[in-house]
Structure 1
Amino acid sequence: MLLVFIIVLTRLIIRNAVAAKTKENQLKLANQQQLIQASITAQEKERGRLAADIHDGLISKLNGLKLQAEIQYADTAVGIVEGLDRCIMTARRISHDLSPPLIEHSSMEDVIEEVIEPYRSSLAITTRIGMLKNIDYSSEKKIQVMRIMEEVTMNVHKHANASELYVRWRGNPTHSLLYVKDDGDGFAMDESKTGLGLQNLESRTQFLNGLIKIHSTLNHGTSILLCFPNN
């Protein structure tokens, strides 16, 4: 009976220790998730503040200078006015990139298409977008998917030496899936695990409570699969 008591007690101690360790790990994971979400939310708020400053401050001042040049110098200020127009367009583009206007009224398909549209002149892009249900994504989720697409397409454009890009988006009542594949140079996975771009992708995926898998082989391109719940 003493032996049985010792065995039962030992099992109970081990079980309690395992349960305590599991709870500790869950708390650490939850805390890490909260920190990531708070960090990304703060980044987007700062982007919004900068976009507002550019739109309300810089662009309005540039428009004032343009109007002043047109009034004071008339036809002799053509070059100045054209230069100011280019500055205004650049400032508007930067403001738009920092904080896309009306994103809450855009569909996820429109968000993806807007990101990849500027690259169609340099890449042969094939898209397949299939929605099994009209899903109402939150603005936060659309922003995270947009940032992920921006990171991926920019890397393909700058580093992959790719000629083709395949983008597939699929949504059903419970989950959404994004698949992106290029035919570029690829990279060694073990050499890129600590890259800032990969860390950004993983952080934004965690914000979505999703999973991301990246596969790349030298000279055989790169594929990225993102899946996250809709709720």
Structure 2
Amino acid sequence: MRPLIAGNWKMHGSLRASVALAESVRAGADDLAAELLVCPPFPYIQAVAMSLLGQPVAVGAQDCHPAVQGAHTGDVAAPMLRDCGATHVILGHSERRAGHGETDVVVKAKGAAAIAAGLTPVICVGETLAQREAGQAEAVVRAQVAGSLPDGFAEAGGIVAYEPVWAIGTGKTPTEADIAAIHAALRQAVGPDTRLLYGGSVKPANAAAILALPHVDGALVGGASLIAEDFLAIARAAG
């Protein structure tokens, strides 16, 4: 399957900076082997989507609420994201699980809402350093997959992103053998047709080696996605 390089911009940028970053990514998107996805903060989704209209760069969101509408102050529904031009949504990121208390049950409900709205869910799984040191990494991610993926996930083109919690934003990455082992376990869990992304301090210097590993179908990029040149370099490393 064609590799996917997704950028999670997290809570960074301004309206002007987000559009400028999107346009810089667009300028380098031609003739890439990989597909590109950028996920700006909520307020900038529509502006970024408009700037990328008709271009080979998809736009996603970083979260959604399980409900279609209602009295949920501060939340955003999946149909609203779709209405603003998003085609994908990141769900269950470790920063949401840890900072907002999101459980597998909550992530599963959000995934179902995303699918119902016509969005492609990108569901994140990953172990903490303590869990890895205890030899529980594979069991943890298998359990998260079992508990977080909604019905119809594979049929909807759902994507799973493996992000070891201890490698996000730290500059640390697991060994290539460790990444390959977890991705092999995930492949057994989700089947042959679900894209598996690796995330966690992916940068131009390590992207080629990571993307060449078995069952790694792309990358979910954090900090490096905020620099168009670095993000595009990672995409070029996909082949």
Q: TM-score range by the shorter chain?
A: under 0.3
Q: Which has the larger radius of gyration?
A: 1
Q: TM-score, normalised by structure 1?
A: 0.26
